[in-house]
């Protein structure tokens, strides 16, 4: 064995453990980086999935319907107050602007997609049916009010008070009609609370996934909400089937 071979053997003996240690360390670092990357990406995609669900079902679903319901309630209340004010002006002999114009709900709030999202979350069609019925009643009442107030036929009595809105409708009859309409719409007011609660339940979810979303309807709070809405819907349906005085 020559001197060069002896030098190589000595260097290998001296640096071999250090080389092996560096190799093992590098292997562990690579493994750690792989695990971190894998689970980090998993966490990232789960967060993205959750954010996507929240955007679609809360921002573009529940919140949009809630805004529409609040708008419709505002339209109804504004029209109701305007009608009452007009009746008072007629009774007091004040000048009335004719025709009286009443608001209607915007067509955009009747878009089906947000309602379908709520139906999916609830696992039931009752929410969509109630809200569609609500908007229909609001717009129907707006049209009726505009027709009834379009041409005011003011007939004064000996005391100087106007008694007639049209040839067949008195002020008192109109007040009764307004009161009946208000009581009918009042039954829908809990819709806002139920929508707000549904939004709150969604907001409290921290790790929503598409499979988990299909089980959202099984949450106790969601089931209770559906139960309350079904009760309201059943009462409204029964009320609509009752014969009126004209049909008796």
Candidates 169, 218, 180, 186; CA nearest to 73 is 186
- Does some domain include residue 153? yes
SS3 label, residue 219:
coil
Q: What is the pLDDT of residue 21?
A: 55
Say if 248 falls within a structural domain. no
CB atoms within 10 A of CB 25: 10
Contact (Cβ atoms closer than 8 angstroms) between residue 127 and residue 62: no
User: Residue 50's closest CA among 213, 204, 207, 215?
Assistant: 207
User: Which DSSP symbol is given to 95?
Assistant: -
Residue with more model confidence, 219 or 170: 219
Residue 247 falls inside a structural domain: no
Structure tokens at 2: 């020559």
Q: Where are the alpha helices (DSSP H) in the chain?
A: 3-54, 63-91, 112-122, 126-149, 171-186, 190-204, 210-213, 220-241
Domain carrying residue 9: 3-240
| For range 124-137, the mean pLDDT | 86
Please check whether residue 119 lies inside any domain of the structure. Answer: yes
Q: 99: cis peptide before it, omega within 30°? A: yes
Taking 60 as the threshold, does the pLDDT of residue 65 lie above it?
yes
Q: Do 207 and 50 meet the contact criterion of CB atoms below 8 Å apart?
A: yes
Q: What angle do CA 239, 245, 248 make, to 5 degrees?
A: 95
Contacts of 208 (CB under 8 A, 6+ apart): 49, 50, 53, 54, 202
- Percent of the chain scored above 90 by pLDDT? 25
pLDDT on residue 31: 56
Residues 25, 75: contact at Cβ < 8 Å? Answer: no
Range in 84-98, 123-137, 217-231 the model is least confident about = 84-98
| End-to-end CA separation in angstroms for the chain | 125
Q: How far is residue 216 CA from its own chain's centroid?
A: 16
Q: What is the pLDDT of residue 247?
A: 45
The yes-or-no verdict on residue 177 having pLDDT over 50 is: yes
Is the residue at 185 inside a domain?
Answer: yes
Domains held by the chain: number:
1
With respect to residue 224, please indicate whether it lies within any of the assigned structural domains.
Answer: yes
Give the C-alpha distances (Å, rounded to integers) separating 203 from 34, 62, 66, 190, 223. Answer: 33, 11, 15, 20, 17
Residue 246 lies in a domain: no
In a domain, 93, yes or no: yes
Q: Which residues lie across from 164 on neighbouring strands?
A: 170
Flag whether pLDDT at 203 surpasses 50. yes
């Amino acid at each position: 064995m020559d001197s060069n071979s002896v030098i190589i053997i000595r260097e290998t003996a001296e640096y071999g453990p250090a080389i092996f240690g560096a190799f093992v360390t590098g292997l562990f670092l690579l493994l750690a980086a792989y695990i971190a990357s894998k689970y980090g990406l998993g966490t990232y995609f789960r967060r993205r999935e959750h954010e996507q669900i929240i955007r679609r079902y809360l921002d573009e679903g529940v919140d949009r319907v809630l805004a529409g319901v609040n708008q419709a309630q505002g339209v109804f209340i504004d029209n109701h107050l305007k009608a009452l004010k007009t009746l008072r002006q007629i009774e007091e002999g004040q000048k009335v602007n004719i025709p009286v114009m009443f608001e209607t709900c915007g067509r955009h709030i009747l878009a089906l997609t947000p309602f379908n999202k709520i139906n999916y979350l609830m696992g039931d069609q009752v929410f969509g049916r109630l809200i569609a019925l609500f908007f229909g009643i609001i717009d129907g009442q707006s049209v009726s009010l505009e027709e009834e107030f379009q041409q005011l036929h003011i007939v004064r009595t000996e005391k100087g008070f106007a008694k007639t809105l049209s040839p067949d409708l008195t002020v008192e009859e109109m007040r009764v009609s307004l009161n009946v309409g208000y009581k009918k719409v009042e039954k829908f007011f809990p819709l806002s609370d139920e929508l707000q609660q549904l939004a709150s339940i969604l907001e409290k979810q921290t790790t929503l996934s598409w499979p988990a979303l299909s089980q959202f309807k099984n949450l106790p709070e969601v089931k209770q909400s559906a139960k309350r809405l079904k009760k309201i819907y059943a009462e409204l349906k029964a009320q609509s089937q009752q014969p009126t005085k004209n049909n008796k």
